[in-house]
Chains A and B, each alone.
Chain A
Amino acid sequence: MFKKITLLHLLFLCSSFSWSQAIFLDNDSIENSLDEVIISGTKTIRTVSSLPLNASVIKKDAIEKTNATRLSDVINEELGLITVSDFGGAEGIQMQGLDSEYTLVLLDNQPLVGRLAGTLDLNRISVGNIKQIEIVRGPSSSLYGNNAFAGVINIITEEPSEGFNGYLSSTYETHKTLDNSINLNYKKKKFYGSVFFNNYSSDGYDLIEDDGLNTVNKFNTNTLQIKFGQNISESLKVKINARYYAQLIDNIAPNSLSGETFTAEDNINLIVSHESDKLKTDLEIYFTSYFGDEFLDDDQGNRFSESFYDQILFKPEIKTVYKVNNQKELVFGLGYKYESLNRTYFDLKPKQKSPFIYFQYDFNPNDKVNLIFGGRFDKYKEYKSQISPKFSGIYKIGDNESIKVSAGYGYKTPDFRQLYFNFSNSTIGYSVIGYNVVEDVLNQLINEGQIANIIVPIDEFEEPLSPESSFGLNVGYNRDLNEKINMSVNVFNNSAKNLIDYRVIANKTNGQNVFSYYNVNNVSTFGFDIKTKFKTDNYLNFTLGYQLLYAFDLDARNAFENGEIFARLTPTSPAFRLKKSDYFGLYNRSRHMGVFKVNYNNLEKKFSANLRLRYRSKYGLFDSNSNNYLDKYDTFVKGHFTTNISLNKKINSKTMVSGGIENIFNYLDTENISSLSGRIYYLRIKHNLN
C-alpha cells in the first residue's frame, strides 16, 4: 500500500485537541479519519489543519443534516461564499468578492464546463452522493491553470466501502419541487461499482406578475453517475467515473411565446494509478461535453428564436508524487487540453489546444514549519502563455496555534465569446463583436453601409487580448482557545488586472453602437473573515462567522478621487461632485456577511436539529443615478437575514425522516432577489438499503 503520510503529522501527534489531530493516512482510510482531509490544495491528500492554505471542507454529514439537495444550497451557507444569479438564471459562486467566472469548479478533481455567460450553474450538481466539498480560497493556477483565479471548489463524490449498501431518498418541497435519489454501492475486495441516480423537478415560481415571464420556469432534471474501480494488482488500480446530466425547462416569454431549453452534460474520466513505496503515478483521461439548445415559438407555432451551445473539453493528464522522505515530497504533472465551442452567433468553430506542465515541492524544514512551492506553465497560441507560481507556508506556534501564509497567481483566458462573438440585436439594432473577429465583421458592416464612424481604430485589435490575472495573498491564524472553542482569522487581498469589459468601438448609422471587448479593469478585493466554533456539551455546537469585504474597481475609485463623477439627489436638483469616500465599490458585493449555525445532535434519541442564519448587508445591483458607478446615493438592495431550520429523526435502524423550513421569516425582495421565493417547507424520507 502506498502510505501517504501527512507532512505535519509529527507536529500534531502530541496535540490533545481532537479538531486538529492529524493521523497517518492511507488512501482508503480517509473516512475513518477524525480530521478533515483535502486533496484540492496540493493534489495530494492533506489534513486541512496542517495545510498552509485558506481551505475548508464541508463534509457529507454536515450536508445531510441541512437536508440540502443542490450544491447552491450548501455553498450559500458557507462563510464568505454567496451565490449570485446571472441574467440567465444560472446561480454562480462569488468568492472573496470575485465573480463566479473566476472560480474553478471541479467534480472529482475534473473541471466542469458549460459557462454560457461566464457562470457555472451550481444547481447542476446534486449533493445526494457527495462525500465532501472542498473549498480553496486564493488563486490556484499553479496547480489548475485557467479559471483558478479566485479559488477552487472541488466536489468529491463517494467511493463504495466494503460490501453492499445504498439508499433511497425522496424530498418534497413547496412549489411542487421533488428530489428523488437512488444510490447503490458495491465493493468486494478488488472491485467496486456504484450507481447514483437523481431526479429533480419543480413547477418553479413567479415573483413578478404581469411581466409575461416566470422567475423560475418549470423544469425537470436527471443525473446519472456511475463509478467502477478494479485493483489489477497490489500496485495498479483502474477507475472509471462517468456522469450524465440532462435538464429540460419549459420556457415562457411575453407575447404568448413559449418554448424549451434542453441542456445535457457528459463527463467521463478514466484513471489508472500506480503505487510503489516512494512513487504514486496517476494517469487521467478526461472528456466532457456540454450541449444546450433553446427555442421560443409564437402562439401559431412559428419559430421566434433559437440558439444552441455545444462545448467539449478533452484533457489527458499524468501526475507523479515522489515521496523523498517524511519531510520532502515532490509533485510533477503534465497534460494537454483540447477545447472547442460551437454556438449561435459564432461564424467559426473555435478550438484551443494548450499543453501544460506543473510541479510542486512540499517540505518540512523543521517540525514546526511546512512550506510548499509550486508553479505551472500553460502554453497558449492565442494569447501570452502563462506561468503561475505559488508559495505557501504554515508555522506552528504552539500545540494549539498556527499561522499560515499563501501567495499565488491566478488567471483566466478570454473566453470564446469574448473572442469570436458576432451578434446583432434584431429589435434594438446594436452589435457585439468578439475581439479576434473585429476586423472581419467591422469591415463587413462598413461594406454594408451600417457604420457611421469608427471610434476605436481597427489596428488597435492587432495585439491579442490578454488573459485576466490576479495575485492573491492570504494570511491566516488559527487557535484552539481551549477544548471547546476554536477560532480562526483569515486576511485576504486579491489584486486583479486586465479584467475584460466591453466598450463602444463604432457608431452605426441607425444611431446604435458596436461593442467589443478590451482589457481595462484593475480590481482589488480585500478583507478578512473570522470564524469561531464552540462546543457546549455533548449535544450542542455553534459556529459563528463574519466576513468584511471591500471590492473596488481601482480606476473607478481614481475617477471619484479626481472629482470626475457627479450625482444628483432628485431629478430637479442640480448635480454635485462626488468624493472618493462616496464610491461604494463593485456591484453585488456586500461589505458585511455573517453566518450563525446551531447544531443539536442527540445520538441516544437519534434526533438532530439545526438552525442556520445568514446575513448579507446592503449591496447595489446596478447604477440607479446614471453616473455609471455605484455610489452611496444609488438605490441598494437592503441588508437581510435568511433563516433555515431542519429536523432529522431516525425512526428505525434504516429509515430517517426529516423536515424543515427554509426562509422561516419569509423574507422577500421580489424586485431584486429572484432566488428567495418565500417560505419553503419540505419533508424527506431516506431509507438505507443495507
Chain B
Amino acid sequence: MKTIKLLVLSIMLISFFNCEDDGPNLQDIQSVSIEDLYAPQEGGQGQPISGTFARFDFETGLQTESETEWDVAFRGTSIIVNGGTSLGTTDEPERTGDAGVYIFDGTMAEMVAVETSLIIQDSSSGYAIQSGSGNGWYTYAGPPTYLINPTPGKILVFRTRDGKYAKMEILSYYLGAPENPDAFSDPSRYFTFNYVYQPNEGVTDFN
C-alpha cells in the first residue's frame, strides 16, 4: 500500500449546460495517476507462473487485499479483470464480479464513450487482455534492450465489477517510470498508469 500514491490530478466538474437534465445526483468523474503499483510474480521464462495478483479498486483508487472488492489485478505482464472465469493458473483469484475490458486504439483524450458491445471477460482459454508482446498492452523489444514497454495508443477500457466504467493508459513497467529505462538495472513489474473513472452506474461517456 505504501507504494501507491493517489493523486487526484483534477476533479472535473461536469459543466454541461444541460447537466440538470441528468439529475442532481451525478458524481464527478475522477482522473487518477497511480505510480509504481508493484505486481510481482514467481516462475515465468518457461516455468509455471505463480504469485498473488496485485488487486486494484477503481472506486477507491487503491490496491486491495479483498477477494471480491476489486476490478483489475496485475501479476507480471498479466492483467486480469474481476469478471468471467479463471484461466486456472496457480494463485489466480476467482472472479466474483461482472468486470470486463477491451482495448481501444487511440489516445486517452480520444476515448470519449465506451463501446459496451466490445467488452469481453476472462475465460478458461485466455485473458480478456491477451498475453504476449504486441497482443495486449505491451511491446517486448527483445535484443538488445529486452525492454517491456506499454504500447502507445492502447487504452484499456474497463467495466468495473459493479457496472461502472473506467479508461486506463499504462505508462511504465519499471520502478519510478524512468525516462530511459534499462531492463538490466531498473526493477520491473511496477505499473505506472493514468485512469479516468466514471462513478455513475451505466454512464458510458467520460465527458
Q: Is A168 an interface residue (CB 8 A)?
A: no
Beyond A511-B44, A511-B49, is A574–B108 a contact (Cβ under 8 Å)? yes
Beyond A622-B145, A627-B152, is A568–B171 a contact (Cβ under 8 Å)? yes
List CB contacts (< 8 Å) of B21-69 with chain A. Answer: 44-49
Cα distance A572–B177 in the bound complex, in angstroms:
7
Q: Is A564 an interface residue (CB 8 A)?
A: yes
Report yes or no: A452 in contact with B45, Cβ–Cβ below 8 A: no
Q: Within 8 Å CB of A513, what residues of B?
A: 132-133
Beyond A571-B172, A626-B152, is A429–B177 a contact (Cβ under 8 Å)? no
- Sorted nearest first, the 6 A-B pairs with minimum C-beta distance are A566-B153, A429-B46, A626-B149, A575-B152, A566-B152, A626-B139
Q: Is B105 an interface residue (CB 8 A)?
A: yes
List CB contacts (< 8 Å) of B148-207 with chain A. Answer: 149-153, 169, 171-172, 177-179, 181, 192, 194
Report yes or no: A570 in contact with B179, Cβ–Cβ below 8 A: yes
Q: Is the interface of A mostly helix, strand, loop or mixed?
A: loop
Beyond A427-B45, A627-B151, is A622–B181 a contact (Cβ under 8 Å)? no
Chain A residue at minimum C-beta to C-beta distance from B76:
A511
Beyond A574-B107, A624-B145, is A568–B152 a contact (Cβ under 8 Å)? yes
Report yes or no: A564 in contact with B171, Cβ–Cβ below 8 A: no
Beyond A429-B46, A504-B135, A577-B107, is A626–B126 a contact (Cβ under 8 Å)? no
Report yes or no: A428 in contact with B179, Cβ–Cβ below 8 A: no
Q: Within 8 Å CB of B139, what residues of A?
A: 623, 626-628
Q: Within 8 Å CB of A427, what residues of B?
A: 45-46
Report yes or no: A428 in contact with B151, Cβ–Cβ below 8 A: no
Q: Is B13 an interface residue (CB 8 A)?
A: no
Q: Within 8 Å CB of B169, what residues of A?
A: 574-575
Cα distance A425–B46 in the bound complex, in angstroms:
9
Task: Identify the interface centre among A426, A572, A623: most chain B CB within 10 Å of its CB.
Answer: A572
Cα distance A503–B184 in the bound complex, in angstroms:
27
Report yes or no: A429 in contact with B132, Cβ–Cβ below 8 A: no
Q: Is A567 an interface residue (CB 8 A)?
A: yes
Q: Within 8 Å CB of B152, what residues of A?
A: 566-568, 575, 625-627
Question: A626's contact among B106, B141, B194, by CB below 8 Å, is which?
Answer: B141
> How far is the CB of A631 from the nearest CB of chain B, in Å?
10
Q: Is B138 an interface residue (CB 8 A)?
A: yes
Q: Is B18 an interface residue (CB 8 A)?
A: no
Question: A575's contact among B47, B108, B181, by CB below 8 Å, is which?
Answer: B108
Contact with B along A566-609 (1 / 0, CB 8 A): 11101110111100000000000000000000000000000000
Q: Within 8 Å CB of A622, what residues of B?
A: 141, 144-145
Report yes or no: B105 in contact with A512, Cβ–Cβ below 8 A: no
Q: Within 8 Å CB of B192, what residues of A?
A: 571-572
> How far is the CB of B142 from the nearest CB of chain A, in Å?
8
Cα distance A564–B105 in the bound complex, in angstroms:
7
Cα distance A111–B181 in the bound complex, in angstroms:
45
Q: Within 8 Å CB of B125, what residues of A?
A: 452-453
Cα distance A429–B178 in the bound complex, in angstroms:
29
8 CB < 8 A contacts A-B: A429-B46, A566-B151, A571-B192, A574-B107, A574-B109, A574-B194, A577-B153, A627-B139
Q: Is B3 an interface residue (CB 8 A)?
A: no
Q: Within 8 Å CB of B194, what residues of A?
A: 574
> How far is the CB of B49 from the nearest CB of chain A, in Å?
7
> How far is the CB of B58 from the nearest CB of chain A, in Å?
18
Cα distance A405–B30 in the bound complex, in angstroms:
65
